[in-house]
């Protein structure tokens, strides 16, 4: 049997062994086996509106820590490139800017905005130069509406992870506006997977989130599982603060207060009548996680009502319980637990996916 095993029958299954959360060597293996082969949200197309736009990002800082560069060339084509010069490894672009080309400030090597090598001073005598290795490495880039995703070594195309969300969401995401003043970061004293597990089940809502429980119909709360994602439907107790769902949607006629989409391994897309809260869970260490809340506004008149209200309070409640679990999994008397068959399908699905990738 593989080291990582969770029975596909949820009624028989045990949760992951606590070694998964505490072993520092496994924390590094997870980086390669899970995070380098899956997709990550990086930004939106508003950051690259004009030809010549250059936008540097660090993919999962302090973990993957990969310096990348998004560009828009003169044909208005978007690219995701390595932001590391192929000469001596210098970081090429440090700040968002507009440029005709990419010029290294160390020794003057120049690249086109599509990453191809253009010129280099004092290199006439170098044999077999330039070669393909002198171009900037191209990294996969996927565009859904205005949202941009990348993967360093994609296990599968992005739509294998995102298709169900793209099919289900009928809102004009391209019209959503990023609001940096409403976006926040939180540092949580817990393993990244514990944070995800908490998100993936509504089982805890009546016990942890009194405010949310007052507006969500816990009895009709449901989870839908897909290949590398899942959806939790938050049904409102009344028809206030709900989506006005078009007749073309499979959800027409339902009092939906929130769509909670999770994309393996660490992305949450929470759609509310006011817009979208993207939560990116970023591993820092075996017991520290950074969570970024990115706010995209659609209808500000509905902001802070219903299931999409008091998100800071909900976050503090989640952090408190997850940090307690982080302490608890260190106990010599706890190795693993069991699943509620009716309420913890999402967490079971998450653990099964972890086993799948860790055993490859």
Q: For the chain, what is the radius of gyration of the CA atoms?
A: 22
Reported as a single tens digit per residue, the pLDDT across 319-355 is 899 999 999 999 999 999 999 999 999 999 999 999 9
Please, which pLDDT band fits residue 204 given cuts at 50, 70 and 90?
A: confident
In this structure, what DSSP letter does residue 298 have? S
Q: Is 49 helix (H, G, I), strand (E, B) or coil?
A: coil
Per-residue model confidence (pLDDT) at position 124: 94
**Beta pairing class for 256-263 and 267-272:** antiparallel
360 pLDDT above the threshold of 80: yes
> In 3D, which of 10, 59, 41, 23 has the Cα closest to residue 200?
10
* Beta-carbon contacts of residue 303 (< 8 Å; ≥ 6 apart): 274, 275, 297
1 pLDDT above the threshold of 50: no
> In 3D, which of 114, 117, 110 has the Cα closest to residue 138?
114
Helices (H), the chain: 19-22, 24-30, 158-168, 192-199, 205-208, 210-215, 311-328, 345-358
Least trusted range by pLDDT, from 51-65, 231-245, 291-305: 231-245
* Count of CB atoms situated within 10 Å of the CB of 319: 19
Q: Is the dihedral of CA 303, 310, 276, 260 positive or negative?
A: negative
Q: HSE on the CB side for 177, CA within 13 Å?
A: 6
* Beta-carbon contacts of residue 89 (< 8 Å; ≥ 6 apart): none
Q: For 2-33, b where at least 16 C-beta lie within 10 A, e where not — what string? A: eebbbeeebeebebbbbebbeeeebbeebeeb
Q: What is the mean pLDDT of residues 228-232?
A: 96
269 pLDDT above the threshold of 90: yes
Q: What is the mean pLDDT of residues 147-159?
A: 98
Q: What is the mean pLDDT of residues 175-202?
A: 96
Q: Phi/psi at 319 (nearest 5 deg)?
A: -60, -45
Q: How far is CA 289 from the centre of its chain?
A: 13
Top pLDDT among 29 and 205 is at 29
237 pLDDT above the threshold of 90: no
Reported as a single tens digit per residue, the pLDDT across 37-69 is 999 999 999 999 999 999 999 999 999 999 999
* Count of CB atoms situated within 10 Å of the CB of 135: 18
Q: Phi/psi at 269 (nearest 5 deg)?
A: -120, 105
pTM above 0.85, yes or no: yes
Q: For 62-87, b where at least 16 C-beta lie within 10 A, e where not — what string? A: ebbebbbbbbbbeeeebbbbbbbbbe
How is the chain split into domains, by residue range?
40-151, 159-358
Per-residue model confidence (pLDDT) at position 291: 97
Please, which pLDDT band fits residue 2 given cuts at 50, 70 and 90?
A: low
Give the integer Cα–Cα distance in Å for 244 and 256. 9
CATH 3.90.380.10 is the classification of domain 159-358: yes
Task: Enumerate the β-bridge partners of residue 67.
Answer: 58
Give the integer Cα–Cα distance in Å for 297 and 305. 13
Q: Is 41 helix (H, G, I), strand (E, B) or coil?
A: strand
Q: CATH fold of 40-151, please?
A: Rieske Iron-sulfur Protein (2.102.10)
> In 3D, which of 114, 57, 115, 110 has the Cα closest to residue 87?
110
């Amino acid at each position: 049997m593989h080291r990582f095993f969770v029975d596909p029958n949820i009624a028989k299954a045990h949760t992951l062994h606590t070694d998964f959360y505490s072993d520092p060597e496994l924390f590094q293996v997870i980086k390669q086996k899970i995070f380098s082969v899956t997709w990550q949200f990086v930004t939106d197309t508003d950051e690259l509106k004009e030809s010549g736009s250059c936008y540097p990002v660090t993919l999962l800082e302090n973990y993957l820590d990969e310096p990348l560069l998004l560009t828009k060339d003169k044909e208005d084509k978007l690219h995701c490139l390595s932001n590391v010069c192929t000469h001596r490894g210098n970081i090429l672009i440090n700040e968002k800017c507009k440029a005709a080309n990419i010029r290294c400030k160390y020794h003057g090597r120049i690249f086109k905005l599509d990453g191809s090598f253009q010129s280099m001073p004092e290199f006439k005598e170098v044999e077999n130069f330039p070669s393909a290795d002198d171009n900037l490495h191209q990294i996969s880039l996927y565009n859904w509406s205005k949202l941009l995703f990348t993967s360093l070594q994609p296990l599968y195309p992005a739509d294998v992870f995102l298709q169900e969300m793209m099919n289900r969401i009928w809102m004009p995401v391209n019209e959503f506006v990023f609001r940096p003043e409403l976006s926040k970061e939180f540092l949580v004293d817990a393993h990244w997977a514990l944070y995800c597990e908490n998100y993936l089940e509504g089982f805890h809502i009546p016990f942890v989130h009194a405010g949310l429980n007052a507006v969500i119909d816990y009895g009709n709360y449901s989870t839908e599982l897909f290949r590398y994602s899942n959806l939790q439907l938050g049904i409102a107790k009344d028809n206030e603060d709900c989506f006005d769902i078009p007749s073309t949607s499979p959800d027409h006629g339902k009092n939906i207060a929130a769509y909670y989409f999770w994309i393996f391994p660490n992305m949450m897309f929470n759609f509310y009548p006011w817009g979208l809260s993207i939560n990116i869970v970023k591993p820092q260490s075996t017991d520290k996680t950074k969570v970024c809340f990115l706010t995209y506004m659609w209808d500000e008149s509905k902001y802070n009502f219903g299931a999409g209200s008091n998100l800071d309070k909900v976050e503090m409640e989640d952090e408190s319980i997850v940090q307690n679990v982080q302490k608890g999994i260190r106990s010599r008397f706890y190795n693993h637990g069991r699943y509620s068959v009716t309420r913890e399908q999402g967490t079971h699905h998450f653990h099964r996916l972890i086993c799948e990738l860790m055993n490859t």
